[in-house]
Each structure stands twice: as structure tokens, then as C-alpha cells.
Amino acid sequence: MSKKRDGARLLSLSLTFDQAMALADQNLQAGRLAEAEALCRDILRAQPNSAPALHLLGIIRHHAGRLLEAIDLVRRAVRADGSVALYHCNLGEMYRLAGQRDAALAAGRRALAIDPDFPAALNNVGIVHYERDEFDEAAAYYRRAITLAPTYAEAHSNLGNALRAEKNYEEALVAYRQALVLRPGYVDAMNNMGTALRDMGRSKEAEATYRQALGLKPDEPGVLNNLALALKERGQLEDASALLQRSSLIDPNRSQTMTYLALVRLEQKQVAEAEIAAAGALALAPREPEALNAMGLVRYEQQDQTAARSLFQSALALKPDLADAHNNIANVLKEEGDLAAAREACERAVALAPHEAAYYLNLADMHKFDEGDAHMAAMASMMRRPETMSDTARSRLNFALAKAHDDIGQYREAFACMHQGNALKRRQIAYDEAETLGYFDRIRATFDRHLLARRRVGYESAVPVFIVGMPRSGTTLVEQILASHPAVHGAGELKTLSENVNVEQVADGKMVGYPELVPILEPDAIRRMGENYVAAIRRLAPETARVTDKMPANFLFVGMIHLALPDAQIIHVRRDPRDTCLSCYSKLFAEQQHFSYELGELGRYFRKYAELMAHWREVLPAGRMLEIHYEDVVADLEAAARRIVDHCGLDWDPNCISFHEHKRRIRTASASQVRRPIYRSSEGRWQAYEDHLGPLLTALSGG
């Protein structure tokens, strides 16, 4: 006999209505949903308008994952008997889960009109207000629920959420701890506490709290996601990615998981994979602000600033206090040269998230600090509690504080922050100095006079202009001068050349790459390399006579440029080694400049770079590469600009000396500086730090 038939027999033979309802509820509590539903349906066949049976069946269908059916059944219960507060309370919660917040709020208020002292209804109405970002109202409802039911653990945890949203973190932690006292294994409260700790910058404590929660509930997607974010902030990107992928398999319909995965992929420089993840998030939740923000970051990395800004603005229209979107708009505005608006957007991000070190670092790039600066005081206060921050956050904050101290002439304090920021960053990266310096030697050995004297085999095009040199040597300034010419498009730092050059082929049974591959390449292969490069940059600027590529590290490929693009112009920008290296040491680079975070390593890298550039001077034909000294540009801008323009085969244009007025997007660490007229304050800057630069100066001198 089936269980359903058995339930019907019990009802018809021996059970009263109350007994059948009690048995159905017992089956529900035990997880026997089929038996519980069978009893309810037997009751409803006898009494079709039984409000208690309709309500209970609605609860059963909700537990079975059939939310819309559940809502319909509880609505029928309310129509049958509208005087029961519990029915309205549960209907409101179901409406909320279905995304119908207005209906949820109305149902919750009807429950409270019937029973003003109903803690569950107060809690549920609070949740609706919380989801509508009405945090004061949410907290008030939670507190009323707690007053009526002091042991109501869920209300304590929810109060913590409202307080956290208002950035009242210490009180939020008190609420979460109280919830855990009342219910020691309460995973949601642990998860929420971890997030509060992470918001406070206490990432190590947050990670421990999330792991404690996972110990109790290993497959909880929300906890997996939050732990992934904590690991991401600590630079553990592979582990974060693995957690998010696991979470997405457990619950493939959670848009937040895909949003977070997109952010991790972006930090891993996997832009195509990030786009897939962000698109997946938006497919699940087209109006989710964080998903829109993530896709905006993808478009930003794809150099589509117009689309990026639109996505950031859409995110802010839905969630005006999304600090990251304000910070991201600041980056777009900075690239476009609107520094005042960029600074304002960044200030907004800092105000909304005053514990986020990344926003202070961004602000420091655009902000001139003075004595008594409030931002400087806030950063110093954060640094007095280093245990509350991850190494990544501490590194960022140290670089920002170094800039602040430098601005007001406190060079000893500036260097102390600079040194600590670099040391923290150096601990997080893998830099093989021997391999890197050996790479320079292999390039010099490969590109001898014989190789570079080969007949012209490359692709003939005068369009490309390569601006090379050490980072922070003035390459951005030289490009901005050229890009101010109407016949020139400044393309910025392109990876196109390195992607074309860094290929591998099988030779003599083994894989061979750059530079050893070059001497055995067929002339057609070299020509195709140049042709592919020109085709790529032509897509950026189909009409202009010249397109600049100012990727500094292209100095590694000068010999290859000469072979593959014999008519391309090469400009090498040089600057005092001490100023160059100090400027590198004072910057936390967005891209991988792993050589720059330890003074001795930085000095030895510079020496190898200088040796390689001397080699190019020796083996290239005379006049093939123009060398420009940054100090000469500062001393006589027009004379230097004329040399640069003439080397590129262009007629002189006076716009080139008004470079700071030229509106174009600039994405480098120097984006803010080149929006200003020529200034001399960077010349000899190293002298203020001379007492601290011993390892660098020794390495530069060959010691």
C-alpha cells in the first residue's frame, strides 16, 4: 500500500482533523514531505477551504522548492481566514524570496496589524527593509523583535547585518557574537561576522571565521564565496578561484559567485575568462550592481572606456553607495585627463569605504597632501593597527603614505613607508633574478652585428613608433608630446609586440623561443611578424600616419623591431639612473615589474638594461634609434620635441609643446603627471633619499 493511501486510510478510519494536521506537521519537521503533503491533501479533499491545511501545504511546497505554488496556497489560506498573523507573516517571506519586496512588506505589515508583538513578523519586515537598503528601519524592527524575544538568534544576526551596512562594525560584531552565544553552530552568523571582519580590514580573522563556518557546513556557497574574497584580498588567487568554481557547481544560479569569479580572473590577468564569468552573472541578474561593476572592469581592461563608464554608472544608479564603482569611474576619468572629477569620485569611494587601502592608493596619485591632511591622518590611524590588514592592504597603504610624506617634505618617514611597502610586495611575488638577468645576456649574445646586418626582410611600414626605456624614465611624457601631433595616435602601452615575439617553435627536437629562435626564423616568418603587428595597431587608428607604442620593456625587442619593421622609428628615453630607480621604488605597479621591489635587485636590473641599450647602440645602424634624455626635455621642451617629431618624419606642429592640454586616454603610472606642464621637481629627487639608497647605489655602480 502506498504511503499516500496509508495516510488517507488513517484519516478516514481513525484521525480527527487536529490529529491529521499534527501528524502532517510532524512529517514536515522530520523531512518526510511526501507523507506530510498526502495528509494535507486528504484534509483538503474533505475541507477544500481549510485555511490551516492550505497554509501547511504551502509551507510543504515551499520546502520542496516550489515557491510559486507555495505562494498560491498561502494566499488561498489568507483568503479563507485573514485573521491569522502567521499566514500573513509567512506569505510575506515567500513574496520576499520571490523578489516581490513591496508585496512582502505589505504582507508583513498586515501580520503586525493583527499581532504587533509577533517577533517573526518583525524580523521578516526588517529583512525587507534591509534588502531595500533602509538600514535604520531594518535595525529598528530587529531590535523590537529582540526585545520581545531576547533569545531570537536570527534577529541578533540580522541586526548585525544592518549595523555592518551602516559601517557600525563594532556593534555589529557584538550582535553576531550574541547570536552565536544563543546558537553556537549558527553558520549564517559566523559567515556574517567574517564579512564584518573583512570590511574592517581584519582579513586573517575573517578567513579563520569563514573556515570555522565551513567546518560546520562545507558546501555552503555563501561561505565559500566569502572565503574566496578574503583569499583574493590576501593575493591567494588560485585558491580563491578554486573555491568559487566549487561554489558555482553547488549552486549554478547564484550570480554573486560568477561576479566574484570575474574579479578574481581579472586579477589573474585572464580577461577573456573574466568576461565569460561577468556575462554569466548578468545573465542570472541583469540589474545586479556588483555584476554590472564587474563587467565594467572587464570593458576597462579591454580598453573600451565608454562602455566601462556606462556600466559603472548603471551600477551606481542602482546602488549609489557602491564604493568600488566610484573608484573605477575615478580611474576612467583620470585616464581621460579630468583630474578634478577623478579626484572627486575617488574621494567618494574613500568616504564610503574608509578602510579600503586601494582607494587611498588611487587617491594619493591625484592628491597633493598638506600638513594636517585628514586622509593622511586616517591612513596613519589604520597603520597603527597593522594586524587588522592583509599584507596587500598594508603594502598599498604604505605606498600611499610614502607619497603623502614626500609631498610635505618628510623624506625619512616617506622612505620608511616606501621601504615597508616594497618589502611586503616583494614577499608576495616570485622573482627569479638570475633568470631575468641571464635573459638580457642571451639577447645580447643572439643579436650580434651579423644578425642585424641581414638584408631587409621585414614588413615595410613607417606607421609604428616605439618608445622604450625603463619604467618611470619619461616614456609617457615623450608619447604625450608625439600624440599631441595631429598625425599621431598615442596607443599607450601595448602588449602586441611581446605577444608576436614571444612564440615558440620546435627546432632540433626541442622548443625554442625568443631570443634563440630569431636567427633560425625564415625571412617570411619575420615579415609576417611585422605585418601582423602593423595590422593590429592599424585597427586602433586606421588613418593616422604614425601610431606610438610606449611599452617601456620593448627595449628587450629593439633588435627584433629592426628586423621585422625596418622602417619603424625607435625612441629610447633615458633618465638619471638614481631618479629613475627611486621613482620605480616609490610606485606600486599595476603590472608585473617584479625587479623593482628591492633596492639591490632594482639596481642590478637597471645595469643590465643599460648594458643592453649600449649593445643596441653599438650593433644598430647609425641613426636607427633616437635617444632622448628626460632632463633635456625638461630643460628645453621645444628643442627636444622638434627632435622627436623630426625623427618620426613629421612636420613640426606647435601642439606638441602644449602636450598637457591634449585630451587622450593615458593608462600608465604617469597618467596624472603628464596632465601638467613641464616641471623640474623630479630632477635630482634621489638626493633627498641618498642616505637610504645604499644598496641601490652600490648595485648601480657595479658593486
pLDDT bin (cut points 50, 70, 90) of residue 13 is very low
Tell me, what CATH number does 343's domain have? 1.25.40.10
Overall number of domains in the chain: 4
- Residue 456: DSSP 8-state: P
Considering 353, 387, 414, which residue would you say is the last residue of a domain? 353
Examine the domain organization and report whether 238 and 271 are in the same domain: no
Q: Are residue 657 and residue 679 in the same domain, yes or no?
A: yes
Q: For position 5, what pLDDT does the model report?
A: 39
State mean pLDDT over 662-685: 59
507 & 452 share domain? yes
**Domain match, 399 and 485 both:** no
Residue 199: predicted pLDDT: 83
Spatial separation of the C-alpha atoms in residues 497 and 552, rounded to whole Å: 12
Shared domain for 322 and 448, answered yes or no, is no
Mean of pLDDT values over 164-183: 95
Q: Which of 216, 242, 268 is the last residue of a domain?
A: 242
Question: Which strands form 625-629's sheet, in the order they lie side by side?
Answer: 488-490, 546-549, 464-468, 569-574, 625-629
**Where a domain ends, among 376, 395, 428?**
428
The arithmetic mean of pLDDT across residues 511-515, rounded, is 91
Q: Is 385 found in the same domain as 505? A: no
Q: 383 and 327 in one domain?
A: no
pLDDT higher than 60, residue 673: no
Burial state string for 514-532 with b = 16 or more CB within 10 A and e = fewer than 16: bbebbeebeeeebbbbbbe
247 assigned to some structural domain? no
CA 629 to chain CA centroid, nearest Å: 36
Say whether both 481 and 538 belong to one domain.
Answer: yes
> Is residue 295 in a domain?
yes
Query: Where is average pLDDT lowest: 13-17, 277-281, 303-307?
Result: 13-17
Q: Are 332 and 344 spatial neighbours (Cβ–Cβ below 8 Å)?
A: no
The band of 678, judged by pLDDT with boundaries at 50, 70 and 90, is: low
- Report the SS3 class of residue 575: coil
Pairwise CA distance, residues 358 & 475, whole Å: 25
Largest CA distance in the chain: 108
- pTM for the model stands at 0.79
**Environment class of residue 679 by beta-carbon count within 10 Å: exposed (0-12), middle (13-18) or buried (19+)?**
exposed
pLDDT band at 286 (very low <50, low <70, confident <90, very high): very high
Map residue 268 onto helix, strand or coil: coil
Compute the distance between CA of residue 611 and CA of residue 631 in angstroms, rounded to an integer.
Answer: 21
End-to-end CA distance of the chain: 92
Which residue bears the cell 625623427? 647
pLDDT tens profile 194-230 = 999 988 878 789 999 999 999 999 999 999 999 999 9
| Contact yes or no for 284/253 (Cβ under 8 A) | yes
Cis preceding-peptide flag for 119 (omega within 30 of 0): no
pLDDT by residue (tens digit) across 595-611? Answer: 999 999 999 999 999 99
Residue 361 in domain: no
Contacts 24+ apart (CB under 8 A), 434-442: 436/594, 436/595, 436/605, 436/608, 437/604, 437/605, 437/608, 439/556, 440/556, 440/608, 440/609, 440/611, 440/612, 441/608, 442/515, 442/516
Same domain, 579 and 525: yes
Question: What Rg, from alpha-carbon coordinates, does the chain have?
Answer: 32
200 in a structural domain: yes
Q: Is residue 311 part of a domain?
A: yes
659: which residues sit within 8 A by CB, 6+ positions away? 477, 480, 481, 483, 484, 674
pLDDT in tens, 633-658: 999 999 999 999 999 999 999 999 98
> Is there a domain that residue 475 lies in?
yes
Looking at residue 12, its pLDDT comes to 43
In angstroms, the CA 107 to CA 88 distance is: 5
Average pLDDT for 239-248: 96
- Reduce the secondary structure of 355-390 to three states and give it as a string: CCHHHHHHHHHHCCCCCCCHHHHHHHHHHCCHHHCC
pLDDT of residue 525: 93
- Does residue 358 lie in a domain region? no
Query: 248 in a domain, yes or no?
Result: no
- For 382, the domain range is 367-428
Domain identity same for 615 and 476: yes
Burial class (CB in 10 A: 0-12, 13-18, 19+), 62: buried
Say what percent of the chain tops pLDDT 90. 84
How many residues can be counted in the chain?
A: 703
Dihedral sign, Cα of residue 298, residue 303, residue 305, residue 307 = negative
Q: For the segment 547-561, what is each residue's pLDDT rounded down to a tens digit?
A: 999 999 999 999 999
Q: 440-486, pLDDT tens digit by residue?
A: 999 999 999 999 987 788 999 999 999 999 999 999 999 999 999 99
What is the structure's pLDDT at 7?
A: 40
| Residue 407 and residue 530 in one domain | no
Residue 468 pairs in a beta bridge with: 572
CATH number, domain with residue 509: 3.40.50.300
- 407 and 458 in a single domain? The answer is no
